[in-house]
Amino acid sequence: MKKQKVCIVGDGLTGLLSAVALGELDLNIEIFGNFTKIKDPDIRTTALSPASFNFLLKFIEKKHSKLFWPCKKIDLFNEIDGKVNFFMDFKNNRNNLMYIIQNIQLKKILLDRIKQNKKIKIFNTRIKKIDEKSSSIILNNKKINFDCALLCIGRNSNITQSFVGKRKISDNFNEIAYTSMVRHNDIITQPKQYFFQEGPMAILPINKKEFSLVWSISKKNDVKTVKKTITNKLVKYVFVKNPKLLKLESFPIIFNFNSNLSRKNVLVMGEGAYSVHPLAGQGFNLILRDIKELQSLIKNNLSLGLQIKDSFLLKKFIKSRKPENLLFGMSLNLVHKFFKSNNIMNPMKKRIMKDLNKFEFLKKISLNISNKGIFS
């Protein structure tokens, strides 16, 4: 049988990792994106669970694994009635709890791997149209046929919008996630999460002297005030003596779960399919599990000599991944709502959180879920 072709549209983490993972199989891969972009680099940072990191290790060179900052512990703090108190920690004494890397670095590692793989063809161009009826991508009046296409072009693309339609489960928090790299002169090696009254703030070190900060707050605040408030909070509660915020960027937060993820031989993946609250740093971990499952299903098809095109493969994929992703996303919403300050809830919250750290069994379950997912 002629080698089957998978076209991957998008040069974000989803598109790049899909190309790397599927590039290991007996397939021809074509990836489309703006690979020469110098403007607007992705300043976000990704915290990967140990299971996600192990999946990545299969594809990356040993020297690159050293670029990930390993952490054994995360401390959680909560603000109630103007006071910020430690209430819980998660730790993994024997193994690491998470691995942190800047998106720019992770993208570079993945792109280098793609360039080394002769089965992957790179098209440095943005796609304008995808015709699912004829299973082809329209590029400068040229048709590129595929057996399967993955649309990994994020949540803002018109192509994604027209593809997934209007059926979705969504929740608009009216919030925005501010993120910035912070330089300092102290030594901070472990991540921390602060549930401030205004919203959750994550501190994710990438080395001893720099950490990435993500603060999700109401859209009402202006950037100047946000910058000042972040600096004050870092000094007062995180005990950073002289924090230097580099470029501050913002990402609107929305919980979005599209119902239609596939049409004919095209599958929407990544943030175009669903986006979850960044509070627990789970977004890309969920996507990575999707990629792992897709790779395994295609591998199975290939080993049986079956076609991907017009098969049940994409439906099978959606059936196996959709329930977990939806459950995960909704659980994050619940956690977020619980911590959002509310004077009526405060006495109850205080009581619940007083003893939360003692429930080792619950902590173990939470750790397992954030590492491998709900159903593993």
Ligand X SMILES: Cc1cc2nc3c(=O)[nH]c(=O)nc-3n(C[C@H](O)[C@H](O)[C@H](O)COP(=O)(O)OP(=O)(O)OC[C@H]3O[C@@H](n4cnc5c(N)ncnc54)[C@H](O)[C@@H]3O)c2cc1C
The reply to whether 35 sits near ligand X by the rule CB under 6 A is no
277: phi then psi, degrees, rounded to nearest 5: -65, 135
Q: Smallest distance from the beta carbon of 81 to ligand X, in angstroms?
A: 28
Q: Smallest distance from the beta carbon of 349 to ligand X, in angstroms?
A: 25
220-239 binders of ligand X (CB under 6 A): none
Nearest to ligand X of 41, 347 (CB atom): 41
For 284, other C-beta atoms within 10 Å of its C-beta total 23
Among 91, 126, 322, 350, interactor with ligand X by CB under 6 A: 126
78-97 binders of ligand X (CB under 6 A): none
Q: Smallest distance from the beta carbon of 17 to ligand X, in angstroms?
A: 8
Contact 298, 183 (CB under 8 A): no
The encoded tokens of residue 205 equal 């070190």
The reply to whether 47 sits near ligand X by the rule CB under 6 A is yes
The reply to whether 9 sits near ligand X by the rule CB under 6 A is yes
Nearest to ligand X of 27, 273 (CB atom): 273
Query: Applying CB under 6 A, which part among 40-48, 303-311, 315-323, 330-338 lies near ligand X?
Result: 40-48
The reply to whether 199 sits near ligand X by the rule CB under 6 A is no
CA distance 219 to 199: 11
- Count of residues that bind ligand X according to CB under 6 A: 33
CA distance 332 to 168: 17
The reply to whether 329 sits near ligand X by the rule CB under 6 A is no
Query: Applying CB under 6 A, which part among 10-18, 80-88, 307-315, 330-338 lies near ligand X?
Result: 10-18
CA distance 368 to 280: 14
Which amino acid is residue 279, in one-letter code? Answer: L
Q: Smallest distance from the beta carbon of 180 to ligand X, in angstroms?
A: 10
The reply to whether 257 sits near ligand X by the rule CB under 6 A is no
Query: Applying CB under 6 A, which part among 7-15, 89-97, 188-196, 218-226 lies near ligand X?
Result: 7-15
What long-range pairs does 125-132 form, CB within 8 A, spacing at least 24?
125/32, 125/33, 125/34, 126/32, 126/33, 126/34, 127/9, 127/32, 127/153, 127/159, 129/159, 130/9, 130/159, 130/163, 130/266, 132/163, 132/263, 132/264, 132/265, 132/266
Nearest to ligand X of 311, 333 (CB atom): 333
The reply to whether 325 sits near ligand X by the rule CB under 6 A is no
Helices 50-57 & 360-372, crossing angle to 10 degrees?
Answer: 30
The reply to whether 15 sits near ligand X by the rule CB under 6 A is yes
Among 44, 289, 321, 336, interactor with ligand X by CB under 6 A: 44
Note the Cα 289 to chain centre separation in Å.
Answer: 11
Query: Applying CB under 6 A, which part among 32-40, 110-118, 165-173, 240-248 lies near ligand X?
Result: 32-40
The reply to whether 14 sits near ligand X by the rule CB under 6 A is yes
The encoded tokens of residue 135 equal 């299973």
Q: Where are the beta strands (DSSP E) in 332-376?
A: none
CA distance 354 to 191: 21
Among 8, 71, 214, 268, interactor with ligand X by CB under 6 A: 214
Nearest to ligand X of 279, 353 (CB atom): 279
139-168 binders of ligand X (CB under 6 A): 152-154, 157, 159
Q: Show the CA angle centred on residue 71, arms to residues 76 and 375, nearest 5°.
A: 75
Among 32, 68, 146, 317, interactor with ligand X by CB under 6 A: 32
Q: Smallest distance from the beta carbon of 51 to ligand X, in angstroms?
A: 12
Nearest to ligand X of 207, 307 (CB atom): 207
DSSP states of 287-300: HHHHHHHHHHHHHH
CA distance 121 to 124: 10
CA distance 278 to 280: 6
Which residues in this chain contact ligand X in the complex, by CB under 6 A? 9-15, 32-34, 44, 46-47, 126-127, 152-154, 157, 159, 177, 179, 214, 251, 270-271, 278, 281-285, 287
